[in-house]
């Protein structure tokens, strides 16, 4: 071994460079990340790169024990910082040294490291914690589903605080390793690829990895007894689908829908470009909820989604989010349209593909079925407000905006925009204004008036989206068939054939305890 001698003076000089001159330069990180809808969500002062979660869960008691290792980089000189956690912290270490900590509010874990943290110097934070997630209530609600054989974490806009400490906002995305020990005979499902599985002394440990940036609310955990199907796509991606063994009458319809995941994803690649992640799949646990959620690589579906038979449209919606919402995530929750408007429009495009009604026909129906005095038109999808963040208008009026854009640009340019955007913003965050600017850049057209009409005016537009002379519309997604000019068409007398399946998926927005028109979508405006 070769050792290089360093003079004492050089060591002293390097230490002086490493330690800022004044402790006054260090200040606490903000207790919120700055979201205008949810000021307390997330935290300021640092950026997380990776979560390593090592968990043990006992279904019979709902006891979750965990050790979270968080790799982050301060974005300022930090004297103190917060994590979001609803369970009880037992010990915190920062860069290997014990740190003092306290709690405030419903979920703030305030950590004071033994030594202040300089800006831009990577740090490790280890939190040991434990508790029963089903006993955690934040503002009266929970993201944890207790099931007959385990538990599930899946909610929006927040779910992480019920099972791991984090910077809980989509603006701070990170990669994940999730290792979960559960009693033998029980499975643990999470995001990404199952790296390994082993059993010892009555416990089985499952090790999952998501190697692309992931928002904390898109991390999921499901523990229970599942029937698991596995496969590999033509491109070599592993596919994992899981179904609770006690789905009863909904079991067949759930499988008939979710087992088409690969087919739907391959079609969506034609529309949106290459699939952005390292795995595919979905899971249907035995929960009493009615909603679905785009948990990254492995969407969550409530059994009630399939109570009336198979419905591939909900699979289309949640898989479309893998591009629009998961890879490209909101900057703030007011930007929800760049998630939900596109996922709903994907259902309209699937209807075209299946020959059950074109997107134009669906747009005509939505427009005609809502009179001008319907409160639906008061909601502005481009900035709906926290109370209307998951209102039906964000979905249906949001999709109308995209049909208007399609008619304005014509199919070749419109689908170039749809495919280019997820590449342009892959694994990042964006605002509605960013998409508008991108569409203008690609098309060479000024589109401010169009988006203002469909996304921001609290009133019903004078006419439905209609194709311009010679523009490409209708037909299969991406086709450029000519379409005639339309002049104030008569209201449709009946909806397209696909409408009943699309309307049935409105329950993906329904949580029973929150919502507007019965819809709250995959989460709660709870703050």
Q: What is the structure's pLDDT at 507?
A: 67
Give the CATH number, domain containing residue 180. 2.60.40.1730
The answer to whether residue 338 is domain-embedded is: yes
Tokens 């300022």 map to which residue? 76
Query: Cα(43)–Cα(305) distance, rounded to whole angstroms?
Result: 34
Q: What is the pLDDT of residue 506?
A: 82
3 state SS for 108-141: EEEEECCCCECCCCCEEEEEEEEECHHHCCECCE
* CB contact at 8 A, 28 and 79: yes
Domain that holds residue 351: 330-463+490-504
**59 and 183 housed in the same domain:** yes
71 vs 508: CA distance, rounded Å: 34
Round to whole Å and give the CA distance between 432 and 393. 16
Q: Which of 199, 215, 231 is the last residue of a domain?
A: 215
Angle at 510 between CA 500 and CA 402, to 5 degrees: 60
Residue 433's Cβ-side half-sphere holds a number of Cα atoms within 13 Å equal to: 4
Structural domain contains residue 160: yes
Interatomic CA distance for residues 508 and 525, integer angstroms: 15
Among 346, 326, 341, 336, CA closest to 425: 326
pLDDT digit string (tens) for 125-177? 999 999 999 999 998 889 999 999 999 999 999 999 999 999 999 999 999 99
Residue at which a domain ends, from 215, 244, 269: 215
Residue 432 · residue 338 · CB < 8 Å: yes
For the chain, the domain total comes to: 2
359-to-272, 436, 470, 474 alpha-carbon distances in Å: 17, 21, 17, 7
Q: Which pLDDT score, from 0 to 100, does residue 26 have? A: 97
Q: Looking at the domain assignment, is residue 398 inside a domain?
A: yes
End-of-domain residue from the set 173, 189, 215: 215
For helices 392-409 and 432-443, angle between their N-to-C axes, nearest 10 degrees: 10
Q: What's the pLDDT score for residue 469?
A: 54
Neighbouring C-alpha atoms within 13 Å toward the C-beta of 173: 23
> 50 lies in a domain?
yes
Residue at 514 is within a domain? no
C-alpha to C-alpha distance for 93 and 228, rounded to whole angstroms: 38
**Regions in the chain scoring below 50 on pLDDT:** 1-19, 21, 470-486, 511-527
């Amino acid at each position: 071994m070769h050792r290089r001698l360093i003079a004492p003076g050089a060591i002293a000089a390097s230490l002086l460079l490493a330690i800022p001159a004044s402790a006054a330069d260090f200040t606490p990180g903000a207790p919120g990340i700055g979201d205008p809808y949810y000021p307390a969500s997330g935290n300021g002062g640092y950026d997380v790169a990776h979560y390593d979660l090592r968990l043990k869960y006992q279904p019979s008691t709902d006891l979750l024990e965990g050790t979270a290792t968080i790799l982050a980089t301060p974005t300022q000189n930090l004297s103190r910082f917060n994590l979001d956690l609803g369970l009880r912290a037992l010990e915190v270490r920062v860069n290997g040294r014990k740190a003092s900590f306290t709690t405030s509010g419903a979920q703030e874990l305030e950590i004071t490291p033994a030594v202040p943290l300089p800006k831009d110097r990577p740090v490790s934070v280890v939190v040991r914690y434990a508790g029963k997630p089903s006993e955690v209530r934040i503002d009266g609600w929970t993201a944890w589903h207790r099931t007959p054989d385990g538990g599930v974490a899946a909610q929006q806009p927040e779910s992480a605080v019920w099972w791991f400490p984090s910077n809980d906002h989509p603006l701070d995305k990170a990669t994940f390793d999730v290792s979960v020990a559960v009693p033998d005979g029980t499975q643990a499902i999470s995001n990404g690829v199952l790296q390994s599985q082993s059993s010892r002394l009555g416990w089985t440990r499952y090790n999952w990895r998501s190697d692309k940036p992931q928002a904390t609310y898109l991390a999921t955990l499901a523990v229970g007894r599942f029937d698991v199907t596995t496969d590999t796509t033509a491109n070599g991606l592993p596919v994992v689908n899981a179904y609770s063994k006690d789905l009863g009458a909904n079991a067949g319809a759930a499988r008939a829908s979710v087992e088409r995941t690969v087919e739907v994803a391959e079609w969506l690649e034609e529309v949106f470009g290459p699939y952005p992640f390292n795995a595919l799949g979905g899971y249907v646990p035995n929960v009493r909820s009615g909603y679905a959620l785009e948990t990254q690589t492995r969407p969550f579906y409530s059994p009630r989604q399939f109570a009336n038979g198979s419905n591939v449209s909900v699979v289309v919606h949640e898989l479309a989010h893998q591009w629009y919402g998961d890879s490209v995530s909101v900057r703030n929750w007011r930007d929800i349209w760049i998630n939900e408007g596109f996922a709903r429009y994907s259902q309209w495009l699937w209807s075209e593909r299946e020959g059950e009604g074109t997107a134009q026909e669906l747009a005509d129906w939505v427009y005609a079925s809502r009179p001008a005095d319907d409160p639906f038109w008061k909601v502005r999808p481009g900035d709906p407000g926290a109370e209307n963040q998951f209102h039906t208008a964000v979905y249906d009026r949001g999709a109308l905006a995209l049909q208007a854009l399609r008619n304005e640009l014509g199919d070749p340019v419109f689908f170039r925009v749809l495919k280019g955007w997820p590449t342009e913003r892959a694994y990042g965050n964006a605002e509605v204004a960013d998409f508008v600017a991108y569409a203008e850049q690609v098309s060479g057209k000024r589109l401010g008036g169009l988006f203002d009409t469909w996304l921001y005016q609290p009133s019903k537009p004078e006419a439905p989206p209609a194709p311009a002379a010679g523009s490409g519309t209708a037909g299969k997604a991406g086709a450029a068939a000519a379409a005639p000019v339309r002049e104030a068409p008569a209201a449709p007398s009946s909806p397209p054939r696909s409408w009943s399946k699309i309307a049935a998926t409105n329950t993906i927005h329904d949580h029973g305890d929150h919502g507007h028109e019965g819809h709250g979508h995959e989460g709660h405006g709870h703050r």
